[in-house]
Structure 1
Amino acid sequence: VKVKSVILAEMQMFLQRRMEEDEHSAQYINNLSQELNNLREVKAQLQLNLMVQLVLKQGQVEVQSSDFTPDYSNSILLHKGVVEDLNSTIQLLGERKVASMVECKDFRKKIVQVEWECQKMLMQMDDLRNKIRDILKLRITKQAQMYLREANYEGQMNADIMGMERSIEGQEKFHSKVIEKKKNIIKELEKQISQMKREMKVIDRQLKEQHISVSERQNIQEMITTVKSDEDARTRFKDLLQHNKLMELSRSQSEDIEILRNELERQRMKTFPILAEAEQYAYN
């Protein structure tokens, strides 16, 4: 029993010693783990807060610089791919926005086109109503009625044209006869006018001679007024009668000439419209 007790005591001492060693080893391991963590933290800090000189192109640095030295304390270094992905996303969203705006524009354009077509149709309806009203108010002439009523309208028109041509030929013949008659009348009137002019010249000459004789007689009468008052009175009375007769004859002949002139002018005025009408028929 004593031996076993000694062995047990030795074993307990060995166990106690092993437990102490185990605690010491655990403490050592904890210390090593703590040191390892500290080293990792230091390494991480050294990896993140390293001062590295980078050469970047202009436009890739988006830091506002004050004076000459830019402040990078609040700056973040990003990979180029991240920025490109972000730009691609922004570009894609922009394209979608533009496509949506184009779609809205096309839809609005279709709405405006439909409104324009509707307005066009309304205006066409108003125009058709006006045309219907004009057609209802239109007066159909005799020629249009004949065209609608006659089956052979062209034949009827040709027959009417032939009849009008025959009528025009007859009128032209009659007109030529009338013109010949008027020309003969004009010639006769011209002869009468010439005769009247000659007679007027003779009368004027006689009148001048009578004036001269009257003047001479007046002079003679003035010279012998004191001697032959009665004879002078009778002679003066005769001269006055003769002068009055000559004046009446001259006045009547002047009136006849004026009447003949008016008749000649009237005959000419009658002849001219007929000639113009004949020329118009000839042109037609």
Structure 2
Amino acid sequence: MEMDVKLLIEIKQGRVEVSSPAPVNMYEDACIVHKEAIERCNEAILAIGKQKLDILEMIKEFRRKIVMVEWEKQVLDAEARELEEKTKDVHMLRVTKEIQKYLAADADKKERRSQEGVGKEATPKVPAESTVTENSGKVSGQLHTNAEQEGMIRRNSQLDVLDKKIRELRQDIKKKTCENAALEKLASDLQQDVAYGQKIKQLREKPLGLLLRTSSLIAGNNKKTSLQYVRRLQHAARRHTDEIDELREELNRLRARTIPMFESAV
């Protein structure tokens, strides 16, 4: 007996939930599902997809905010560097008289414009009072500008005095350094002279000691040996006198280089 009954059902083509590259004519393994179940499944799939899209939108927005914050940080860093450079330029700027005149003239112009604006606003009410206030404003503005100019002139005069003192101190430092160098050179020359003098003194004392020591030897020896000793002593004395003369000339030359010597007029 056949348990499965074959039924012929007519359905719409759009409702066939089968994906196939070629058209299907046989639906032996097909499964019939209720329409509401398919719709619920599709709604769940769409909800999950929408949730994923919302998450991606949130990630994109968060990333965009991060990029904007980084860009603002770079802009603020650039502005900070620019302000630092401007402050350096302002600190290094030397205020000259021309700049002072320009600033004073600019301040005077602004004061006059403000006074003229105040005067124009006050004219329709009381003309006499407006003229008085305008004149008083002009006088006060002139006094203010004069006071500012006097203060700037005083500051500039103080700066000039300080610059002059600094220049004088630098000149004194240069002079002192030159004097110290000259004194150091003189001290080194004097030390050399003292060393030469000690050497000459030692050379002068040396022949006398040799003569005293050899005199005792000559007394005990015969004439021949005594003559040989005498000749040797004479030769040594000549050699030492030559050395003394050379050292004396060297000493005179060094003294002439350091201390001026005047020749006696004949």
User: TM-score range, shorter-chain basis?
Assistant: 0.3 to 0.5
Query: TM (normalized to structure 2)?
Result: 0.36
> Normalization by structure 1: what TM-score?
0.34
More contact order relative to length (CA 8 Å, sep ≥ 6): 1
Higher-Rg member (1/2): 1
